[in-house]
Amino acid sequence: MQTDGSQIDPRHWLTAHGDVLYRYALKHVRDRVLAEDLVQDALLAAWKARDTFDGRSQERTWLIGILRHKILDYFRRQYRERPAADDVWFDRAADNDRFDDRGTWQRRPGSWDQDPEQAVHDAQFRQALADCVSLLPDAMATAFTLRHDDELDTDDICKALNISSTNLYVILYRARARLRDCLEEHGHGVTHA
């Protein structure tokens, strides 16, 4: 176990952790060039803070934590500069088949034949879920990923995305509804009559 920052070796960070950091960033920002830039920013910040690493976590965990802060800073800048208009978060055309103009159900989801707890351990299901998340609008996918992958609390997500908690709940609800539709289209979870 490392006891202080002098025992870490930044010369090996890119080789040892670069792929994991890049995949983490890409999953969040969905842009290859931006993901690379964020990883570089995180590695530079880690290098500058290397003397503060105390070894209470694994080196990779520490680097991912720094990268996560860089990603959240990016989202804060993006959503602070962009108005939080509905069109940033919602594609009304995609929701028209599920909800009417008042927001009430036109088509309710079916019952699931799959236990969600077991489904997350199924590699095919995880891949289908990742594919479905990639189809969400960027801002909606960001909110979903921050909540469910990073397990950030409501306040942190709302600050990062410059939205109210009520908006976040609506965004997450709609994201989950779309993901459910997408998963059902790919044969996951729906009861077949």
Q: Is the residue at 162 inside a domain?
A: yes
Q: What is the pLDDT along the chain (193 residues), one digit of tens a residue?
A: 344 444 678 889 999 999 999 999 998 898 999 999 999 999 999 999 998 888 888 999 999 999 999 998 998 888 776 654 444 445 555 555 666 666 665 665 555 555 666 655 667 878 888 889 989 988 889 999 999 888 899 999 998 888 889 989 999 998 988 888 888 887 776 554 4
DSSP 187: T
Tokens at 2, concatenated = 């490392």
The answer on 76 and 90 residing in a single domain is no
The answer on 159 and 99 residing in a single domain is yes
* CA pair distance 49, 53, nearest whole angstrom: 7
Q: Is the residue at 157 inside a domain?
A: yes
Q: Which domain holds residue 155?
A: 86-185
Domain boundary among 81, 107, 128: 81
The answer on 99 and 76 residing in a single domain is no
The answer on 109 and 60 residing in a single domain is no
Inter-residue contact 95 to 87 (CB < 8 Å): no
